């Protein structure tokens, strides 16, 4: 499920879930970000109960975007056990996103 969430400490967000976390760094004025939101809605059923998706507005959290080297929007960062394990920049087709997430998680888990 995609969540829009405000938080005080990103570490708490990362440690607050046992599932891998896909963070969608976006901005409300970004056209490609809106396209990516629709793609995430298509992809979400593939990972129901296996992956948490969180949207983070880079306008509200510029320090966090800088920490994870988000220089292009949209940028998605996949975290596992609190660590970034993959990133996706720009708009990515649903089938490509599904494949990349599955590969990244499989490589991390085995």
| Residue numbers annotated as active site | 30, 33
Peptide bond into 47 cis (omega under 30): no
Q: 46 — phi, psi (to 5°)?
A: -65, -25
Distance CA 48, CA 4 (A): 17
- The answer to whether the beta carbons of residues 22 and 51 sit under 8 Å apart is yes
């Amino acid at each position: 499920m995609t969540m829009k969430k405000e938080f005080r400490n990103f570490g708490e967000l990362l440690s607050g879930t046992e599932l891998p976390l896909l963070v969608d760094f976006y901005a409300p004025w970004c056209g490609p970000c809106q396209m990516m939101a629709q793609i995430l809605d298509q992809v979400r059923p593939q990972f129901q109960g296996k992956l948490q998706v969180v949207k983070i507005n880079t306008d509200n959290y510029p320090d966090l975007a800088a920490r994870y080297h988000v220089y292009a929007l949209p940028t998605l960062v996949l975290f596992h056990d609190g660590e970034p394990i993959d990133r996706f920049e720009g708009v990515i087709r649903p089938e490509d996103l599904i494949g990349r997430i599955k590969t990244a998680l499989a490589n991390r888990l085995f």
